[in-house]
Amino acid sequence: MAQAYSAGLTVTDNIILRKERVLPLKGEVLVQKGDKVKAEDVVAETLLPGKVVPFNLANKLGVTPAQLQNFIKIQPGQQITKETVLAENKGLFGTGLFKNVVYSPVDGEVENISSVTGQVLLREPRIPVQVKAFIDGVVTDVIPEEGVIIENKSAYIQGIFGVGDETVGELKVIAKSPSDEIGVGDINDSCKGKVIVTGACVSYEVIEAARNHGVAAIITGGIDDQDIKRLLGYDIGVAITGHEKIGLTIVCTEGFGKINMAQKTYDLLKQFDGHKTSIHGRTQIRAGVIRPEIIIPLDFEHEELKAPEAAVPVLKPGTMIRVIRQPHFGRIAKVTALPEELTKVESETMVRILEAEFEDGTKFSLPRANVEVIES
């Protein structure tokens, strides 16, 4: 086989990005097609339905569900406060003595009244939700009542794993090389609000220092599993992340353990040192994969916003690859051949392999599944 499909993460200094920014429920879009927006701008907002409070009114009143309709003072859709009487009975023999009056436990709205169960559902006031642009760019489409599509030209890096939600800050490369490992002393007040680059690894102590100095986000090659556990207070079982409230966002570009940041990734970050950067740690490795993103918006003309069709990363002789599992984890090489036959590797597994050459000329072979294509 002369070539084969291979998965890979995107690292590029120039991409046309298209981001859908939509509300969780229908609401109001605040911008128009053609508007230029900043990452911090609110583009759409809505009111989420408030919390539902089930309330067994028949029980409270001491009547059967079927009798409830004789005493009820509210109807579905009615606005209520804690002073609203939901139901009252007429007291002993209709005299008003020992009259039982039930007030609403919450402010809000009546959702439903059931004569089968005697239960009323009350809904608390709506909760406002806003969606921000997240990236500087142009609104190229409006989805009525739902949100917008924002496009821009960016330098773009997909991370492999992250924690923490969307944030924006100025890029600050602290690591002096992809293999560097910065210390607590490297973090100071100049890092406040910044997206910092730490090199091959970031320790728990450095993360703590970053939090204390108000760092917005950390970009690192690797991170130790135990440091993540300490940071979150639990072990990550399934990689669905991004919702953590830990005071900052962390994006790993390579994986777990100390792993040199890919030279290309480091060089790209270094090139854009000081630029405004949008970043999130959201990772979901099943059911519609999501990877963390580092987005550095560039200046562009509107005509440039033509996204090329998604290219399929392909392995063929000459393709540059990065090894993504032991042995040689993290090293860069060039494919020299793609033998068709299944080949037995050290573990005795029969796999399709590729033959490749490191920069120093050393030759090796590996399962095709254990490399990713580096886009040129």
Partner 1 sequence: MQYDEKRLTRIVATDCGSTTTKAILIEWVDGEYRQTIRGEAPTTVEAPLNDVTKGVINATNELEELARLKYNNPNIKFMENGEFVIPRNGDIGVDAYVSTSSAGGGLQMMVTGVVASMTGESAERAALGAGAIVMDLIASNDKRMNHEKIERIRHLRPDMILMAGGEDGGTVKHVVEMAELVSGADPKPRLGAGYKLPVIYAGNVEAQEEVKKTLQDKVDLIVTENIRPKLETENLGPARDKIHDLFMEHVMKQAPGYNKLMEWTRGPDHENVPIMPTPAAVGNIMQTIAREENIEVLGVDIGGATTDVFSVFTDEHIFNRTVSANLGMSYSISNVLASAGLDNIMRWVPFDINEGELRNMIKNKMIRPTTIPFLLKELVLEQAIAKEALRLAFIQHKDFASSLKGMQKQRDISEAFSQSTSGATIVDMMSLDLLVGSGGVLSHAPRRNQTFMMLIDAFLPEGITQIAVDSIFMMPHLGVLSEISTKAATEVFRKDCMLYLGTCVAPVGRSKIGKQALHATITLPDGKVFDEHIPYGELRLIPLGVGEVAKAHLKTSGGLTLDSNKSKELDVELHGGTVGIVIDTRGRRPFGLPTEKAQRISYLKKWMRELKVYPEEILA
| Binding residues vs partner 1 (CB under 8 A) | 1, 4-7, 10, 49, 51-54, 65, 111-112, 114, 116-117, 119, 121, 123, 146, 160-161, 224-226, 235-239, 255-257, 283, 285-289, 291, 310-312, 324-327, 329, 340, 344-351, 366-367, 369-370
Q: Cα dist. 73→28, 68, 102, 161 in Å? A: 34, 10, 10, 55
Smallest separation, CB 240 to partner 1 (Å):
10
Task: Determine contact, residues 373/313, Cβ cutoff 8 Å.
Answer: yes
Smallest separation, CB 110 to partner 1 (Å):
12
User: Phi/psi at 228 (nearest 5 deg)?
Assistant: -65, -45
| CA–CA gap between residue 367 and residue 10 (Å, rounded) | 21
Smallest separation, CB 216 to partner 1 (Å):
23
Smallest separation, CB 29 to partner 1 (Å):
15
Beta bridge partners of 127: 48
Whichever of 214 and 345 has its CB closer to partner 1, that residue is 345
| CA–CA gap between residue 295 and residue 154 (Å, rounded) | 6
**Among residues 322, 268, 235, which one has the least CA distance to residue 7?**
322
**Exposure of 35 by Cβ count < 10 A (0-12 exposed, 13-18 middle, 19+ buried)?**
middle
The DSSP output letter for 148 is E
Smallest separation, CB 194 to partner 1 (Å):
26
Whichever of 209 and 366 has its CB closer to partner 1, that residue is 366
Helix (H) or strand (E) holding 119: strand 119-123
Beta bridge partners of 50: none
Smallest separation, CB 26 to partner 1 (Å):
9
Whichever of 132 and 322 has its CB closer to partner 1, that residue is 322
Whichever of 25 and 92 has its CB closer to partner 1, that residue is 25
Whichever of 174 and 283 has its CB closer to partner 1, that residue is 283
Smallest separation, CB 324 to partner 1 (Å):
5
Whichever of 19 and 172 has its CB closer to partner 1, that residue is 19
Chain-centre distance of CA 73, in angstroms?
Answer: 46
Whichever of 97 and 310 has its CB closer to partner 1, that residue is 310
**Among residues 231, 270, 235, which one has the least CA distance to residue 250?**
231
Smallest separation, CB 155 to partner 1 (Å):
17
The DSSP output letter for 266 is H
Q: Could you tell me the two tokens for 43?
A: 């583009």
Whichever of 256 and 300 has its CB closer to partner 1, that residue is 256
Q: Which residues contact 294 (CB under 8 A, 6 or more apart)?
A: 156, 157, 158, 159, 195, 219, 251, 269, 277, 278, 279
